[in-house]
Amino acid sequence: MTTDHEHTGPTRLSPTRLSRRHVLKIGGATLGALSVGTRAWAQAPKPGGSFISAQSTEATGLDPQLVPAFSRSRRSPMMYNQLVRYDGDMNPVPELAESWQISPDGLQWTFKLRQGVKFHDGQEMTSADVKFTFDRLFEKSPGKSDFVAVDKVEPDGRYAVKFLTKEPFAGLLAALGGFWGFIISEAGIKKHGDLNKAALGTGPFMLEDWKVEQQMVLKKNPSYFRKGLPYVDQLTLRVIPDEANIVAALRTGQIHHAFIEDNKNFNLLKEEKTLTGYRSSRLGYDYLNINASRGPLKDVRVRQAISWTIDRSQVMRVAASGFGRLTAPATAPMKQWQLPEDQWMRYYKPDVDKAKKLMADAGFASGFTVKLCVIPTFPTMVSGAPVVAAQLKRIGITAEIENVEYAVWIKRWLAKDFDMTMNTTPGYADPDTAFFRALHSTKGQNWNSWSVPELDALMEEGRRTMDQKKRKEIYDRVQILILENVPHLWLFSAETIDFTQASVKGFKQHPTTLLYGFEGVWLDKA
């Protein structure tokens, strides 16, 4: 039987806030919008105006295939679209594709494209652009590991495209709706070489000006395929490195919105009557990344000792000011994939005596010294690292904290040039994208320089298994192997916190932290 997902009419995002009930459905946050005005529900959106958002970090580039997702992920949905998007409940919904079909053998996916969608330069998007997008991705993008099961992409006429896979690929929709699935213009690449500064997509906003480390100015795309969106005429993304200044700018009304990276600032802003706060669980997580190719860290017993000495609850209380949760390797809103809590929590209860014995068995009873890399503009890293270092000291490991600027950190991380690093990752819609790229020793990016053949085999099996129940059994075992072999330590999943001016309507958070919500934002008053 052919599986068919049909969709009629354009997909339009609601301009209402994410309610508490809605947030709880996607993973159990404490609150959605902290202040919900009943009048806003009945108001018709007002087009026009200029919207200003601020955050503490800058993108290192905007090409959705060449720049690490960590750097540009929030910005991508403003300028680009995917074939498939994941909604707030983490269900796949059509975007540039109107519908899709899967062949009975699971080896061919056919996507019917929207007609009349235009890139920012006025060129129509066709199946040729989709093929070009993925051919380029397969050739040169770090995101190609999400698609290694794909053999090739072929146009099927002007407005349909086929993904031919080497084997059934259960995670294809999640890969297409993930951080590497944004469709680019073949003509745009031929003209500009890359899209780091041109940013030529089909999205709701067009790049107008970019002063690096200062601000990025986007203007409304008048030809956007979702008629009536976006509502605002201009969107300015301002870089303010010190979050104390972001807090001040919110209080004085200089900006309309801010991502709050340091959760301690939530308490400083929550009583401000002119502001609306948003909190929700996210798919992403903070973790301690361990380079398993370096010195004592090669020994699984040492990595296990590190895991048994780390008190994750204490790290979360300090690093995220308690705004978060401990999670299984399949993180918070991915509840359908999580191990039962009693199975993963037993690995998270500190046992220093057990850790010391493992260190002695590995021949490192007297300990050793490592470098612990931290990005100084990431508050959870900065606050969490000293806690981790103090806990490691209990088993003789001296972790020397090394502050590394973001651009340098990215290069070193990708080159595996580190001992240990604090890290944070955005979220993924499927366990395949959550695990395969990071942990597969040969077909992924192998963030940890390690190899566990059984885990590789299980992740490959999970990719080609279409039956949900069987996949769950596979990924339960994957999570156990991760917890036992310790490629990196899941520390906690922090809540996403945003604040807007009360005049801002229609803002929505998303579990992946991809910023889809700005296309539906409007201003009750300029």
3-state SS string over 179-215? CCCECCCHHHHHHHCCCCCCCCCCCCEEEEEEECCCE
Residue 523 token pair: 């201003």
Average pLDDT over residues 410-436: 86
Distance CA 305, CA 300 (A): 8
Asked if residue 16 has pLDDT above 60, the reply is no
pLDDT: is 441 or 253 the higher one? 253
Q: How far is CA 131 from CA 103, 116, 186, 254, 410, in A?
A: 19, 17, 9, 43, 29
Dihedral pair phi/psi, residue 295, rounded to 5°: 40, -130
Mean pLDDT over each residue of the chain, to the nearest integer: 87
Q: How confident is the model at residue 161 (pLDDT cuts 50, 70, 90)?
A: very high
Identify residue 9 by its one-letter amino acid code.
G
pLDDT in tens, 372-420: 999 998 888 999 999 999 999 999 999 999 999 888 988 888 888 999 9
* Res 526: pLDDT: 53
How much of the chain exceeds pLDDT 70, in percent?
91
Instruction: Give the DSSP letter string of 398-459.
Output: EEEEEE--HHHHHHHHHTT--SEEEEEE---SSHHHHHHHHH-TTTS--TT----HHHHHHH
**Has this prediction a pTM greater than 0.75?**
yes
pLDDT average, residue stretch 153-162: 98
pLDDT score, position 32 = 36
pLDDT score at 38: 37
Predicted pLDDT at 29: 32
Tell me if 451 sits within 8 A of 439, measured CB to CB: no
- The tally of CA atoms less than 13 A away on the side-chain side of residue 260 is 31
Looking at domain 3-198+496-523, which CATH architecture does it have? Alpha-Beta Complex (3.90)
Does residue 317 surpass a pLDDT of 90?
yes
* 60, burial (CB in 10 Å: exposed 0-12, middle 13-18, buried 19+): middle
Maximum Cα–Cα distance across the chain: 68
**Prior bond to 230 cis, omega within 30?**
yes
Question: Strand pairing of 234-239 and 50-55?
Answer: parallel
Query: What are the structural domain ranges in the chain?
Result: 3-198+496-523, 285-494
**What CATH number does domain 285-494 carry, 3.30.70.270, 3.20.20.150, 3.10.105.10, 3.40.50.970?**
3.10.105.10
- pLDDT of residue 4 exceeding 50, the answer is no
pLDDT at 13: 28
